Amino acid sequence: MTKNNCFVTIANVGDKMTYTLLYLKQHQTEGIDLSLDFNKEVELLSEVTKIGPCHVKGNYRFLDDNYLSFNLKAVAEVTFVAADTLNLIKKRVEVQIEDELANNDKTEYQIKDGKIDLYELVWGWFVAEMPLIVYEKEK
């Protein structure tokens, strides 16, 4: 998917979701409302078999021309392998993302070539906040 607005502003390259700063400035009042597919990432996780569409909603603001603050909520249904029974268990995972992005090394996620990769930002938070071990039977 590519939208044009003076320049290429949004590019969905494979599973990545990249926004230009120009697009974000022009659409600041609309916020973020999108769906991401993280199923390619499942191959790297032994405790997860499937991740449903990850719905991301929230807002952002420019603190400076090349410095943004994001406040997002990511929600997806994740199928885990239960540690105690090895059965598959579906759980809704919600992650609150409050982070800043800049084009310098002061932030974990960077603005690169005037673009922000929201896939990378959301996945980084999502995988870090999702449970590592899920039990079918409460202990």
- For 96-116, how does the pLDDT look when each residue is reduced to its tens digit (9 = 90+)? 999 999 988 888 888 999 999
Contact 67, 74 (CB under 8 A): no
Start-end of H helices in the chain: 21-26, 118-129
Q: Does the pLDDT value for residue 14 go beyond 50?
A: no
pLDDT given at position 9: 37
Q: What is the pTM of this model?
A: 0.83
pLDDT given at position 10: 42
Contact 135, 105 (CB under 8 A): no
pLDDT given at position 13: 40
CA distance 49 to 39: 9
100: which strand partners? 69
